[in-house]
Structures are given as structure tokens and as C-alpha cells.
Structure 1
């Protein structure tokens, strides 16, 4: 049943919609299929009828039906997007399938004056009825100015409805939500419409290039594709405005992995969960219920890095059903379009949705393979250095780990005693519970730790693949604040991000602080007997450490072979689980860049992307 607020009389109902909304398109489909109608009235001029109906029958191929305006100064067109997520197009599509009469009742205009309105997020229709939604926004709708084109269009549509009333019993008329109350008033007032000016404007249909669909469609092209796929495969589509965002995020991850083949997959399911939570928070801060492309790209950049954000934007623009040659279709931009005949000019959408705000978001792409090949050929293997911001970052982390290991040395010597007059180093909860029946408190005393930690070993990937980590070397400190570093990583020539800037991935490393000179462990005969990379790295750390304690950060407890190595060199392992630190921090520290000389440091920041 149609609610009384949408009824003009017993035979005519007005259905207000927000153009460009997939949620409103589903609401239109429900209205058409749940009631019996004889005629569907569309808020478009009759001159568009033939081309629009033909273009709708060609869906899912997306096109525009455009008419050139009679303006001598500039080339201008007004157009109707044949968008599956447009409520008007959805209504025409259903009417064609149900064999309903379709009437185009809008006023013919020589120069169309576009209208744009800001309304609440249509996703609220999932929990709020359409009549309540319309009633809530009713106080914000401004009445048309008498004598304006909008006022003339409203009067023309009401006159057309009165004429159709004598031909059909049940008429459903779609209209913009901004016109709904004034159409209702004009219908009951029966005010005559002013005569339209006679003119001729040829109307043509053009397919749209896939790369331009984001400027034409009301929803994201990929979300529109999901609606069409659900229609074709008879899948549920009631919640695609949100579930489609989740599918977009997952599909973008797959495209990112296939296209870039990153050295390390840091876009884990846990990070995607953080991304979706961040998108939700940003969307609510913008007073919306569903995110736009800018919000998605911004969150993807800040959570997963520039390369994933680029993949998400490119995936969001995909519409696999658009199989046309780029030379045949029309190209759209911000308020302008280029048509196959060579005409270029300003375009105005007759089914304009919410106003679009274009924002700038700088993203750094991974260079093309041709450029990487050129940079690889120009690489000088005899002049390499590190990137100072990454040095400072990992040195700070190394300092934190050494302090943690120092605290663990003393924690192993702690002893408990009965509380008398001082809490000393704190209450010993475990010992207190063990002796709870005695009604006594126990405190712990941690004696000063003996010795220091100068060597910290990081083992990120166990077991280390020697085919993957082929770059093994030792770097010496450039100043007193840096450590002596020995590591194994992916090779330099595997991935370039800029001229003279190579990206690598740590497999394992050790830091010696305070720095001092030591021979390269990867070329010393002392360590040739060890076959695995991690054992060779540990042996070098144990051999060159002047302190007894060596901190080892790894994803698993020390193996028996490691303990034998430590005993051989009379050292003690201070184990620290890698899971103690956030995975995001570890992933960020593992990726580092090798520069082809210190002169590259002056411009490397333009090419190095933050994760």
C-alpha cells in the first residue's frame, strides 16, 4: 500500500527520490513491484523518450543521452545518465519489464538550469520508512521562485499528470525530493503552466568510457557493478551500499597483491579490520552513514600505505560490463565532456544527485617496470648508503629493545620476601596469593642488573630463505648515534621506487651499540661453517659481543641450536618475543631503502612511500 502522504488522489501517487542513490533505486523497485500501476510518469522531457528507452534496454552498458543547448557563446549539453543506480532509470527498467506505459512529463527547456540539494544519507532508508524520511527533510526544502524555470517545470508536470489522469487509473509519478511538496500543492491548485518556447535540440546517445564513469554515476562504478552482478545472478542487494564497500576493500587487496607483488604483505586481515573501523569513524565525523571515495582513499593511505590506496581508487573505478573502445565513447570530467564527434563543452546532469566536492589527495605510485629497468641499469654498486629518516626510526626502536632487555636481566634476579615496613620494588601478587592463608603480604626486590646489552639481534623471518635474502653485508656507523649494523635482506635490484632508490626487506639483522669496527661476518672464515642465515648472524653477534648478554628478538623461542651457539661463545641469550611489538611497527621497520650515493638523499623523499 502507498502511504497517504504520497497520494495526490485515488489514481495518482508521487514518489519522491534522491537522484544517484542506489538505496532509493531499491525503494523505487519495491514500490513498483508491490503495487499495481498502469502508467509510470518520468520527470524528463518527451524529446529524450526514444533515446532513453533505447539506452535503458542496452544496460548494463552505461551511456548518456545528451542534447545540445541553444547557446551561441559556449558549447553546452544537458544529459541523462543511464545509470542502473539512478531511481528514474530503475523505474524505467522495471516498467519495461512489466509492460507499463511510460510517459515523459517534464518541460522542454532550451537552456537547462541544474539544481543541487543536500539531503541526509539515503542509507537511513534501511531503518527509516520513506514517508518518515521525506517528512524529516520537508522543513528544509525551499519553495521555487515564481517565474523561475523550476517553478515552470513543476506547473508543466502537474498539468501533464492531470491529462494522464483521464487515460490511466493508477499512475506513479517519480519526482525529485526537492519538488515533491510543491508538485503536490500545484496539482491541487490546478495552476496553468506557461507556454514553452519552440526550439529544436537533437538528442543523441553515447556510451561512456570506463575511466570516465566516476564522473557520471551516482555510486562508485565498482558498487554499480556489484548491483548489476547481483541483478544478473539473482543475489541479494539490499545492503550493497555497505557490503559493497567491504568487497571493494578485499578486491583492492587482491589487485594490489597481483599487480605489485610486494616484498612483504602487510595488508593483513587485521589491518583491513582497522581500515574499516577508521573508515566508519571518518564517515561519522563527516555526518554521513556511507563513505565516499575520498574517505576510503584517505583511510587506505593512512592505514595501508600509498600503493594500496592507489589500488583501491583504481578498483573503485572498475566496471567490467563496459566493453567499449575508448575511441568510441564519451569522456567526462568535472563539469565537462568530450563526445566522439569531437565536440567538447560544459555538461549539466538532469538527474543530479548530492553535490560532489572534489578534494586533492597526493598518492605515490609504484613506478612502471620500464622505469625500474632504466634505474636498475644506471645503478652503481660501489656507492650505496642508507636513508637517514629510516636510520633514526630503527635506531630508536633498537634503543627501546636494549632497554627492555636490560630490564629483563634484572627481572630474572628478583626475589620475594614478607612485607615488613617497605614495599621495595612493588607487591608480589603471585607470592601473596600462594600464601593467602597466612594473611601476609609479600613484596619483591629486584637487585641492580649486572652487565649491559650492546648487541641486539632481530630475526624477522624464520626459517630464512637463502634464495630470497641474498643481500648480506655489514654497514658501519656514520656518527656516534648510529649502531654498527650487519644484516641479510632481499637484493637491491629487486624493486626500485625512484632513480637511485632501491627498496629492500630485512630478513634478519643485529645492531652493535656503541658502534665500533668489526669485520664483515658474511666474509669471515670463522662463520663459514654455519649454513643457515640466522645461525650465521647469531654466531657473529655472539662472537663480537663484549658483553655476556645478547638480546634476541624473534617470532619463536630460542632453538636448541641457538643455545648451543651461545654456550660455545660463552654468551647468554635474552629472549624477547617479536609479538611483544605491534605487527604494523615491525612491518614498517622491516622495509628500508638503499640509496645510490649520498647525493640521492637530497631528493629521495619524493619517491619513498610511507607504509
Structure 2
């Protein structure tokens, strides 16, 4: 990183001794640069690229920060225009600094409601802390070359240049903050020359400063609210005694922190946070998506897409909620909800499951939810599962039974010296191992081992620590002959309330046996005291209740020797299936489940819970 990344010591673009600072509207890096120059120079006047006709409402909105506001600008004969006052915009930061330090704020631009939007591609501003603002700006201006400014740009840039000249003529130290594209025009504008006349602009009318609903900030802000909040906290640290803005504000560091906060939120709600390997894949995926679009660092959209691909939709949703949280909201009943289209900005759509706001537009369902309390008090039938999730669990059990049977069959193979037949093929490994001693080729003989799997144990987390992360231990019996009995330990469903009587939890591990209606209370059976933890208790119970000789164990590591010896004494065999051999998406869909307080909630739960 450059020692002077923002060019404070020597700034090349000046007009009559006033520094002209370029900004990319809404981007954090240029707001940081503006703040660094203002803190170093302490100017008496700050000229900003804001229409003079909007000066009073704009400064009122700036004074409201960190509560975010928008200017609703009425235009005769046209739809209203909106001007969003964002804390990470360099122009807003300049005006805000001036108000906080009793400097003069000059809104020097012209009001032109018909000015066309420009979507000029620029290098990623995330490079500014590394190469410096001056080098970044110079590279862009040289690449653009001299271009003929339109009549509208000439009028605006001349107005800003005249304001700078007036402040300098009055003897005030001045800093001007304008959009990057206007820097050459402001520097070269001749204050005494006329410009191409245009029809007089329609003056704004009915300009109102309105609070913005915080729920829409994640869509409309140029930077995610999480990034804007980090900027607010950095400003507060500076104002409370620091000499400069501290630097935990590098974009990669902010997004690493965002993913970490989302993982902590998942864990606090009783879920399982993404593993370190998944987070590495997430960041690598997001970075490569950004590189495909010609940028160095990913934005929120790319992080969410990467989170959905590397982890799952639920974690992507948590990421959106953490990124969109804005703790500085002011209570205002008149707050408006804006969209990207209202501001003339592009938006990209990501569909996540479970979807957000699933109850919108479902009046009958909302009324049913309102009556849930009365329903649960009237003859409760006891807790039950969510039927679509039962089907997925049974499918997993059938898959593991088949996989365990195949693995057991492969265990019946043996290697013998070649005599007269190749049998089932040459055993190259055994031949090489014995070649120096034996000198004979060895062949493989497959012996059919026919054995059925009588129980399936799936372990995600042995949870041997204290306090346990999966404290809820239950035994469920099948509701019909095609459903297995099940014992499991899971997170506390009380921490995952989805609706009254509908809770979400995650398995730490479970046992499934067939046929149903036989499983006792394995959690308090003294015969299973040999088990060291709850995961081993499920394995011992599986050995006890299985009616077939095989017990399939899906777990990160194989069982200890003591459990294998117990299985041999009982005439059983534990077939270990490494957890990583099953599809991660399938395991993730099975692991998250829902508990209903009453069977009558099942029709409502079908609308609230996405299919697994």
C-alpha cells in the first residue's frame, strides 16, 4: 500500500490554488480520499457538485446522517426525481465534514433534471489504496483523452469553476469535490467566457427530505449497509480523538468480516456455520466472478452468488441480512421505500431459498398464523415432524443401506498367488508388494458376501464438548410401516422459531432402524453406559436393535476399536462410510429439519417451509 495513497502531500489537479478532488459517487475509497484531504488541509470553503437550487434540503439531509434520507424533487410535467444522500459518497462526505467543522459549503452545480445518466466503465476503485488516488485518476484521464464536452457539461463545469474562483478571490482556502468525469472541464473552464446557451432548466418544486426505509437500503445504496456502517464507525473513531481515519476499511478485509459475521449469526441461531474449506471456496469463487467483470474485489451480489454455490441458500440469505442491517435508523413513520429503478440504477436478481417475505400477499395464511395460538391450546396432539423432510431422510437411509451393503461386499475379496487362473484379475498392488520375496504374480478373487444393513447411523458432529451444542435428545417412532424409528441429538429448536409452533433445528447425529415401533429410550438406557458420548450411544443402540448383521455408520472418522469388538461379540459388523463420500448438498438438506407443535400445523408449514 502507498504511504500516501490519497495524494494529500502533493495534489496535481488544482484551480487557482484550490484542490479539485475526483469522486466516484457512492464508492467508499473516494470518500476516504476526500476525508483525508479535508483533514489535512482544513479548508475554509468546500465546493461540492450539488445543484445550488437544492442546497438547503441537501444540507438538511446531510445533517441527518447517519440516518439516511432522500430528496424527492418535483419537476413540472415529469415524474419526481430522487437524490439519495449516501454516507459513502465523496460529495456527501465533503459537505458533512464542512458542517461538522464550521466550514462554508458551496453547492455550485446547476439543476438539470433532464441530464442523461452516464454508465462509463471505470477501473475498480478498490485499487486506490494500493496505487494511489493520483495515479488511478491520471490513468483514467489519459485513457479517456481529450473529449468534447456537451453543452450541458460545459454549463455545469463552468458554474462549478466560477464558484471556486469566487471563494479563492475572497481569500478562502478551498477544496472542490466533483465527479471524476468533470475534473478536466472544471480545471479548464474559463470563468469569463460564455457557453452554448440552453433552454432554461425547469426549477425544482416541492422538494422534500424524506427518511428512507432501512429494509430497502441493501438494494439502493452503492455500498452495502455493512460497508457504510464500517465507514460510520471509522468516522466516529476519528472524531472522538483519532488523528485520521483508521484503516480496517480495505474492501477485502470488510468482506471477510461480513462472511465471518454471517457465520457467527448462523451459529448463534443454533445452525452449523460453513466450514473453513467452504469459506475459502466462497472467497475464491467471488473473487473470480469479480475478475470476470474486470474488477479486483467482489461486490455484494457476487458474494451472495458465491455463498449460494459454496455453502447453500440459507447461508446466502444470512449474508444478505447481515450486509443489509443498518443500526442508525431514525424512527419515522413517513419513511419511504425506494427501489433501484426509482434512482435509475441497475439491479441484479438473486433467488434464494428459503425465500424472504414468503407471506406477502397471502391473506388467508396470515390469518391462519394469527390463530395458531388458539389452535395449539385446543387439544394439542404432541410434536411431530414435517412430512417432506421425512421423505428426504428415508431416502438418505435407503441410499446409505445400499452403499453400506456394497462396501461390505467389497470386503469379501482376497488375493491369492497365481496358479492356473487369473480369477477376477491381477492384483497389481499385492504383486509389487511381494515381488522381491515371492517373485510370483498375485490375483484377486471376489467372494460374494450377502448381508443386509439393519441400522443406519449418521454423525455430523460428535459434540463431546461442554456445554453441548446439540442438547436436544429425542426418540421418534415411525408413523407408518414404511417409516423408520429414529433417535437423534440436535440443536435446541426453541432457538429457531419460524412461526408459533413451528421451529427449526439441526441434527448433530441420528440413528434409523427397521422395522419401526421397536426403538426404546436409548438416551437413558443404562445398558449403553459403555458409550463415551452421544454419537457412540447411537452406534451402540444400532448394534443392539439391528435385526441384520450390518450397521452402516456415516461419520467423519471410523469407530474406535472397542466398538468394533462389541460388534463382533454381538454378531454384528460396523461398515464405515466416510461422511465426505455423500453429496454435501444432500447432507446439508437432511441436516436442517423442522419440528411442529401439532399435526394440524402441517398444512400451514407447507407454505412456510421450502421443500428440502
Normalising TM by the smaller chain, what interval?
0.7 to 0.9
1:573 partnered with 2:571: no
CA contact (8 A) 2:248 2:254 kept: no
1:280 partnered with 2:283: no
In structure 2, the CA distance between the partners of 1:510 and 1:443, relative to structure 1 (3 Å rule), is farther
Q: For 1:391 and 1:519, how far apart are their aligned partners in 2? A: 15
Give, in angstroms, the shift of residue 585 of structure 1. Answer: 4.7
- Superposed counterparts of 1:149-168, under 5 Å: 149-168=152-171
CA contact (8 A) 2:74 2:204 kept: no
Q: Secondary structure at the match of 2:261?
A: helix
Aligned length: 568
Aligned twin of 1:250: 260
Aligned twin of 1:28: 34
Q: For 1:80 and 1:450, how far apart are their aligned partners in 2? A: 72
Q: Secondary structure at the match of 1:334?
A: coil
Aligned twin of 1:236: 246
1:79 partnered with 2:83: yes
Q: For 1:519 and 1:528, how far apart are their aligned partners in 2? A: 21
In structure 2, the CA distance between the partners of 1:24 and 1:439, relative to structure 1 (3 Å rule), is farther
CA contact (8 A) 1:423 1:443 kept: no
Give, in angstroms, the shift of residue 136 of structure 1. Answer: 6.1
Aligned twin of 2:589: 588
CA contact (8 A) 2:212 2:336 kept: yes
Q: Secondary structure at the match of 2:477?
A: strand
1:445 partnered with 2:452: no
Aligned twin of 1:520: 518
Aligned twin of 2:339: 334
Q: What are the superposed Cα offsets for residues 400-450 of structure 1, whole Å, 9 maximum, x if unpaired?
A: 33322322x22xx533658999796555547736766x7968645244243
Give, in angstroms, the shift of residue 224 of structure 1. Answer: 0.6
The counterpart of 2:347, out of the listed 357, 360, 365, is: 357
Aligned twin of 2:511: 509
In structure 2, the CA distance between the partners of 1:40 and 1:589, relative to structure 1 (3 Å rule), is same
CA contact (8 A) 2:453 2:551 kept: yes
In structure 2, the CA distance between the partners of 1:395 and 1:192, relative to structure 1 (3 Å rule), is same
Give, in angstroms, the shift of residue 298 of structure 1. Answer: 3.5
The counterpart of 1:62, out of the listed 47, 56, 68, is: 68
1:404 partnered with 2:403: no
Aligned twin of 1:432: 432
Q: What are the superposed Cα offsets for residues 261-293 of structure 1, whole Å, 9 maximum, x if unpaired?
A: 34x425344433333333333333444434343
- Superposed counterparts of 1:258-269, under 5 Å: 258=268, 261-262=269-270, 264-269=271-276
Q: For 1:268 and 1:518, how far apart are their aligned partners in 2? A: 35
In structure 2, the CA distance between the partners of 1:446 and 1:30, relative to structure 1 (3 Å rule), is farther
Q: TM-score, normalised by structure 1?
A: 0.74
Give, in angstroms, the shift of residue 59 of structure 1. Answer: 3.8
1:220 partnered with 2:227: no
Q: Secondary structure at the match of 1:267?
A: coil
Aligned twin of 1:558: 559
Give, in angstroms, the shift of residue 85 of structure 1. Answer: 0.8
Q: Secondary structure at the match of 1:179?
A: helix
Q: What are the superposed Cα offsets for residues 457-494 of structure 1, whole Å, 9 maximum, x if unpaired?
A: 3142547999722233246664xxxxx73321369997
1:177 partnered with 2:183: no
Name whichever of 291-300 and 23-32 sits farther off.
291-300
Give, in angstroms, the shift of residue 519 of structure 1. Answer: 5.9
CA contact (8 A) 1:209 1:330 kept: yes
Aligned twin of 1:342: none
Q: Secondary structure at the match of 1:401?
A: helix
Give, in angstroms, the shift of residue 592 of structure 1. Answer: 5.0
Q: Which runs of 5+ in 2 are unaligned?
A: 1-6, 239-244, 360-365
Q: For 2:575 and 2:376, how far apart are their aligned partners in 1? A: 41
Q: For 2:406 and 2:42, how far apart are their aligned partners in 1? A: 76
Q: For 2:440 and 2:599, how far apart are their aligned partners in 1? A: 61
Give, in angstroms, the shift of residue 251 of structure 1. Answer: 1.9
Give, in angstroms, the shift of residue 11 of structure 1. Answer: 2.8
CA contact (8 A) 1:458 1:510 kept: yes
In structure 2, the CA distance between the partners of 1:248 and 1:383, relative to structure 1 (3 Å rule), is closer
Give, in angstroms, the shift of residue 22 of structure 1. Answer: 0.5
Q: What are the superposed Cα offsets for residues 335-376 of structure 1, whole Å, 9 maximum, x if unpaired?
A: 68xxxxxxxxxx76xxx8xx3325252442599997875776
In structure 2, the CA distance between the partners of 1:242 and 1:375, relative to structure 1 (3 Å rule), is farther
Aligned twin of 2:119: 117
1:473 partnered with 2:477: yes
CA contact (8 A) 1:390 1:592 kept: no
Name whichever of 27-36 and 594-603 sits farther off.
594-603
Q: For 1:18 and 1:93, how far apart are their aligned partners in 2? A: 17
In structure 2, the CA distance between the partners of 1:475 and 1:427, relative to structure 1 (3 Å rule), is farther
CA contact (8 A) 2:213 2:335 kept: yes
Q: What are the superposed Cα offsets for residues 476-531 of structure 1, whole Å, 9 maximum, x if unpaired?
A: 664xxxxx73321369997786999886755322456xxxx57623389xx99556
Q: For 2:179 and 2:382, how far apart are their aligned partners in 1? A: 66
Give, in angstroms, the shift of residue 88 of structure 1. Answer: 1.0
Q: Secondary structure at the match of 2:281?
A: helix
Q: For 1:539 and 1:21, how far apart are their aligned partners in 2? A: 59
1:312 partnered with 2:314: no
